[in-house]
A and B are shown apart, each in its own frame.
Chain A
Amino acid sequence: MRILVVGGGIAGQAVCEAIRERDPDAAITMLCAEPRAPYDRVRLSYLLAGEGTLEDLRLRPDEWYTDRRVDVRLGAPAAALDPDTGICTLDSGELIEFDRVVLATGSDALMPPIPGIELPGVFAFRGPEDCEQIVAGAASAKRAAVIGGGLLGLEAARGLAGHDCPVSVVHLMGRLMERQLDDGAATLLRPAMEELGVEVLLERSTEAIIGNGRVSGLRFVGGEELECDLVVVSIGIRANMTLARGAGLECERGIVVDDSMRTSHASVLAVGECAQHRGIVYGIVAPIHEQAAVAAQTLLGHASAYEGSVMSAKLKVMGIDLVTVGAAEGAGAAVVADDDAGVYRKLVIEDGRAAGAVLLGDTRGHELLLLAVKERREVGDPLALLAEASAATAADLPDSAQVCNCNGVCKGEILAAVRDAGLRTPQEATATTRAGAGCGSCKPLVAEIVRLETGDTADAPTYLCPCRRQTREELAAVMREQGLESVSELTAACGAGRDCGACKPGLAYLVSEVCGNRHREERHARYINDRVHANIQNDGTFSVIPRIRGGVTSAAELRRIADVADKYDVPMVKITGGQRIDLLGITKENLPRVWEDLDMPSGHAYAKAVRTVKTCVGTDFCRFGLGDAIGVGIELERRMEGLYTPHKVKAAVTGCPRNCAEAYVKDIGVVAIEGGWEIYIGGAAGSRVRKGDVLTTVETGEQAIAVALTFLQHYRENADYLERTYDYVERAGLELVQAAVLDEQSGEPARLRERYEIARAAADPDPWRERRDLVSPRQFAELDTEPADLDLVALATGPPQGAER
């Protein structure tokens, strides 16, 4: 059978997946109007907020389509469809024959027919191009206005506020998100939005967008005006029915489908935001997966019925937790609210049955409530159900409870995947089931479910020594109580590190940190890299990266590096991502000689330590530079170098928000802005990509360095071993970190700085000096051998000979 899927959005993708899961042979062609493979439109707001790239939003990699023989046509909108002859005409004129066709044409943004809607500076919020233009506009806009205070409008507003662009949300109704929220929740949501820097204007009907050649403001009914030079319109969507209408299909607010997802023509189906089922056009993602599954069954000749979905929505605005399910108001309701904490939890009851829920500020147990509403469960005591939901853990959820609404994955599927494929980690579960691969808000629950199946206890602490089940805190306490100064003493005191030895490098770090680097160093507790101060490679040779502060070097240094490369026949000389130079393939024996010839200090590129501070040229040469990135970067590197850390620490200082030094994705990033510096923490651009959080903004480079060092010390003292800053900041919470690093009245920042100074004073800025001052006679060398005439049997005290005998 030849199946044509028209539309390359979430719905089109879901249909392809649902068909392929059930039939390995059907020929599937997918037409994507946009010039790109299907992406997760639900997460467009992340793009707007600068928290990811379009590539991150992609639903499946190219291999997925080739492996599953799905013929994807990019940039190939359909122009006409003839269901009777089974021919689809593309814009390009190409004809595609099909036996069945599924319309997944989605929706367009609704643009109100008001004067000025066509002015430059007015955007819809619907595609990546919109995001790009909005972000570009936000950089110079004095004020942005978002017309529409629904889910998308609020996400757009938050995204704009994140770009430091003053923003107003203009809403027609008397409360935000009036379709999903009741008065109580909307009343709390408004101040929460305002706290994020979003002005909320309610009961404003935009009469015209004004401007001479470019938008300059909004005029509301009644004459009031709002000055703004960027407008984002997000008042709703309209099903895209052009193709369906042309094909003579019955259309109302959407393409009318029956319970089998068939349109008025038996060989045409419709799924997603373009479809109207029992009078409802769903503008949310969750029903898509249910519809796609039914559509696939219908296509393959199996009876199946879609009976509608419970509306459920989640606001994807960082700092606001909001989930709504079903109806926000009804005949009866139970409400638990804490105005001060901004928490509002409501369960709506209709005819004695669960009919809806609104959870703001505390969304625990929303999966349970969604299930209760779906099942229209009889609820005798609504308050008790709310309380039960608050306390619900993953174990309490039935297998049928939907965990990931973006990809329609139930708890039972995750458990089965973990069991059948022997998965161990939440990351593996996400890769296998796609639960958590959408907006990501269910990731903690996915992790909990994986732990349920793997048997790890849900709140198992992170053990520094797993063999002896000892945490970092416990071991630090033992050290302090007994005044211990080495790993051996710690092992003797409580056994940590005695069994498998894997935690010894972690213990070594702990010992050095607690003692402010005045510990007794024991190399047996160190990984080989830290015994010979170079990074071991897969062939047992080492890589050598000298320190090149801020990425600034000189002709003389480069000449020495070149000479070393020649003299030692270095197989590869490589520029690193951290603006340094890597000499690869050095034997251990040659390390001291190479260091001597280089005559440059160690770059600590082999250690869990401060690595490098990347810089851009800043004000030195760049015509856009706002701050002295090189000066601040070199000084920051100088003050951090030699300090060991729970995991590696990468930093960058960049001279303007163009971010050439990639400071947004470093553990510590310093960004010059007009009149000051921003300090970002917890950024990542490795296996995970995460934009750092703004720790604070300061006026001078020296202040920026001070804040960065205070944070560094806080991280050194509080993170678990091998926990990167981005994991630590997420675990601890930005607020806690800010309080510890910035609240001078508490005295903690001053104490952190003092302990930093103490640790720094005793840190070794250049371990490569051990080339002249070996810590053991054969630190870098092999043992010398010579034949001996000796009767070993007579002396035998050593271990038995080879076990195979």
Chain B
Amino acid sequence: MIGTTHVGSAADVPMLEGRAATVDGRRIAVFRLDDGFAAVDHACPHAGGPLSDGIVAAGCVTCPLHGLRFDLYTGVAANGDARVAVHEVVERNGELYVRLAAVEMRPAA
């Protein structure tokens, strides 16, 4: 079983924004959505764009470099053949905890 990691406090991630974090050597992006938090791998599989810097709406993040848009609950791109790994994240007492997905996602072709 993969361990749990504290990734700072909920207040560190503003509403509908993302922040980067490194968990067990893996770069992830943590987002605050209207109804909770979400976390996915940080690098866009297309060209490595920093997803934590993307614009968030309707549970999706848009990569700031070339506009691929990923569903933060499924990791699947809405406008291309790509997907990112989705990690578990919960808030407790104002603190955020992440558990990495076991499976490494295949990079997009």
Chain A residues within 8 Å of B, Cβ to Cβ: 497-502, 504-505, 523-525, 527-528, 531, 536, 538-540, 588, 776-778, 782-792, 795-805
Residues of B within 8 A of A588 (CB): 53
| B5-A787 in contact (CB<8A) | yes
| A540-B55 in contact (CB<8A) | no
Please pick, from B6, B72, B83, B87, the residue contacting A788 in the complex, using a CB distance under 8 A: B6
A to B CB contacts below 8 Å, 10 in the list: A504-B55, A524-B17, A536-B65, A540-B49, A540-B65, A776-B17, A778-B8, A790-B92, A790-B97, A801-B87
Residues of B within 8 A of A805 (CB): 102-103
| B54-A528 in contact (CB<8A) | yes
Residues of A within 8 A of B72 (CB): 799
Q: Which residues of chain B (34-48) have a CB below 8 Å from chain A? A: 36-39, 47-48
Task: Return the 4 tightest CB-CB contacts between A and B, nearest first.
Answer: A501-B57, A524-B16, A802-B101, A528-B53
| A792-B88 in contact (CB<8A) | yes
| B64-A524 in contact (CB<8A) | no
Residue interface mask B88-102, A partner, CB < 8 A = 1: 111110001101011
Residues of A within 8 A of B11 (CB): 777
Residues of B within 8 A of A801 (CB): 86-88, 101-102
| A782-B19 in contact (CB<8A) | yes
Please pick, from A505, A540, A783, the residue contacting B53 in the complex, using a CB distance under 8 A: A540
Instruction: Report B95 CB to chain A, min CB distance, Å.
Output: 8
Residues of A within 8 A of B37 (CB): 798
Residues of B within 8 A of A782 (CB): 19-22
Residues of B within 8 A of A778 (CB): 8, 12-13, 19
Residues of B within 8 A of A787 (CB): 3-6
Residue of B nearest to A526 (CB): B55
Most chain A CB within 10 A, of B17, B21, B64, is at B17
Distance in angstroms between the alpha carbons of A443 and B3 in the assembled complex: 62
Residues of A within 8 A of B55 (CB): 501-502, 504-505, 524-525, 527
Distance in angstroms between the alpha carbons of A791 and B99 in the assembled complex: 10
| B53-A796 in contact (CB<8A) | no
Given A501-B60, A799-B86, A801-B86: A784 touches B103 (CB 8 Å cut-off): no
Residue interface mask B56-68, A partner, CB < 8 A = 1: 1110101011010
Instruction: Report B17 CB to chain A, min CB distance, Å.
Output: 5
Residue of B nearest to A532 (CB): B53
Q: Does B80 contact A (CB under 8 A)?
A: no
Distance in angstroms between the alpha carbons of A258 and B73 in the assembled complex: 73
Distance in angstroms between the alpha carbons of A300 and B3 in the assembled complex: 76
Residues of A within 8 A of B48 (CB): 539-540
| B4-A792 in contact (CB<8A) | yes
Instruction: Report B1 CB to chain A, min CB distance, Å.
Output: 10
Residues of B within 8 A of A527 (CB): 55, 64
Residues of A within 8 A of B8 (CB): 778, 783-785
Residue of A nearest to B74 (CB): A803
Instruction: Report B24 CB to chain A, min CB distance, Å.
Output: 9
| A501-B62 in contact (CB<8A) | yes
Distance in angstroms between the alpha carbons of A540 and B48 in the assembled complex: 8
| A776-B73 in contact (CB<8A) | no
Distance in angstroms between the alpha carbons of A505 and B105 in the assembled complex: 31
Given A502-B55, A799-B38, A804-B105: A783 touches B12 (CB 8 Å cut-off): yes
Residues of A within 8 A of B86 (CB): 799-803
| A524-B13 in contact (CB<8A) | no
Q: Does B82 contact A (CB under 8 A)?
A: no
Distance in angstroms between the alpha carbons of A527 and B56 in the assembled complex: 10
Residue of A nearest to B89 (CB): A798
Residues of A within 8 A of B50 (CB): 528, 536, 540
| A538-B65 in contact (CB<8A) | yes
Residues of A within 8 A of B21 (CB): 782-785
Instruction: Report B96 CB to chain A, min CB distance, Å.
Output: 8
Distance in angstroms between the alpha carbons of A776 and B19 in the assembled complex: 11
Distance in angstroms between the alpha carbons of A560 and B94 in the assembled complex: 42
Distance in angstroms between the alpha carbons of A497 and B87 in the assembled complex: 26
Given A501-B58, A539-B48, A803-B83: A783 touches B101 (CB 8 Å cut-off): no
| B12-A523 in contact (CB<8A) | no
Distance in angstroms between the alpha carbons of A538 and B53 in the assembled complex: 13
Residue of A nearest to B27 (CB): A782
